């Protein structure tokens, strides 16, 4: 079998959290196709303590426990190879977005460190972490859930994972703006009719309608995205049309 396009190793104190999710849907198919090789590791397996401890009380006192440097360092060093990128899920990291997911999807080997308790010994950051990623300005119980989110967003961008890659390219944020509205049968439901243009068979009109509605939705819900979006001449014309409609 050919080498996987992406290998991911996850280091966590709670490997059971990952069972089920990665055995379903897109993640399962990616593994079955040999595109993704995913391994979930229990950090306690690298502990030399007879109780398999991976944490200790913080120097200087304070609430909670800190994950120890020797355990995490040993785990990372045993998994690293040439070209590996080590990622620590942390609220202090770079905010995760679609562009970062694209960058990660081009990697060959990713190692995720899932934090817990009050965090990790700072020396782990200095010795083995290549980048820190945050999924948002809020607190969750541990980094395992954050890792699942980042892995999902990343893996679906690896070529061959999603059957029809157009669906990935049309997702919200893939092209800097939000997605357009979607409709399917029946044509009328609860008195609301699906747009006639989508049922017209005119591919060019459908394409233009979808782009206009994606821009409209972005203007209404996330106007901040447009400041950084790569807009074409047509996009700017459509935005003018949308703004003129608002004034009438």
Whole-number pLDDT of residue 168: 52
What's the CA gap between 197 and 207, in Å, rounded? Answer: 10
Q: Domain spanning 172-247 has what CATH number?
A: 1.10.1270.20
What's the CA gap between 43 and 158, in Å, rounded? Answer: 27
Q: Looking at the predicted structure, is the pLDDT value of residue 173 above 50?
A: no
Q: Tell me the H-state helices in 128-202.
A: 143-155, 165-169
What's the CA gap between 245 and 237, in Å, rounded? Answer: 12
Report DSSP state, residue 221: H
Whole-number pLDDT of residue 163: 62
170-191 mean pLDDT? 79
pLDDT tens-digit readout, 78-105: 999 999 999 999 988 999 999 999 999 9
Report DSSP state, residue 227: T
Q: What are the residue boundaries of the structural domains of the chain, listed by start?
A: 6-155, 172-247
90 and 133 Cβ atoms separated by less than 8 Å: yes
- In the numeric block, the tokens 């206009």 are attached to 212
Q: Looking at the predicted structure, is the pLDDT value of residue 14 above 70?
A: yes
pLDDT band at 41 (very low <50, low <70, confident <90, very high): very high
Q: Looking at the predicted structure, is the pLDDT value of residue 217 above 50?
A: yes
Task: Give the DSSP H or E segment for 110.
Answer: strand 109-114
- Topology of the domain comprising 6-155: Alpha/beta knot (3.40.1280)
CA dihedral for 126, 129, 135, 139, sign (positive or negative)? negative
- pLDDT mean across residues, the chain: 91
> Helices 203-221 & 233-247, crossing angle to 10 degrees?
70
What's the CA gap between 163 and 81, in Å, rounded? Answer: 30
Active site residues: 91, 118, 156, 171
Pick from 135, 44, 29, 49: nearest CA to 87: 135
The DSSP annotation for 158-176 comes to STTSSSSHHHHHTSTTTTS
Whole-number pLDDT of residue 172: 46
What's the CA gap between 154 and 134, in Å, rounded? Answer: 14
Cis peptide before 186 (omega within 30 of 0): yes
């Amino acid at each position: 079998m050919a080498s996987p396009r992406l290998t991911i190793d996850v280091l966590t104190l709670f490997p059971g959290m990952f069972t089920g999710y990665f055995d379903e849907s897109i993640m399962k198919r990616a593994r079955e196709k040999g595109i993704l090789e995913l391994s979930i590791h229990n950090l306690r397996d690298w502990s030399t303590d007879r109780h398999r401890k991976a944490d200790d009380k913080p120097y200087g006192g304070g609430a909670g426990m800190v994950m120890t440097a020797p355990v995490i360092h040993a785990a990372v060093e045993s998994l690293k190879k040439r070209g590996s990128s080590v990622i620590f899920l942390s609220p202090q990291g770079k905010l995760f977005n679609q562009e970062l997911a694209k960058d990660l999807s081009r990697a060959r080997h990713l190692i995720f460190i899932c934090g817990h308790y009050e965090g990790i010994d700072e020396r782990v950051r200095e010795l083995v972490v290549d980048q820190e990623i945050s999924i948002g300005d809020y607190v969750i119980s541990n980094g395992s859930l954050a890792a699942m989110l980042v892995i999902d967003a990343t893996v679906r961008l690896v070529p061959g994972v999603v059957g029809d890659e157009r669906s990935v390219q049309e997702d919200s944020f893939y092209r800097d703006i939000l997605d357009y509205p979607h409709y399917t049968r029946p044509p009328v439901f609860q008195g609301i009719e699906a747009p006639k243009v989508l049922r017209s068979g005119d591919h060019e009109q459908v394409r233009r309608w979808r782009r206009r509605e994606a821009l409209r939705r972005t203007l209404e819900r996330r106007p901040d995205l447009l400041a950084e979006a790569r807009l074409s001449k047509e996009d700017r014309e459509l935005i003018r049309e949308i703004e003129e409609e608002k004034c009438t």
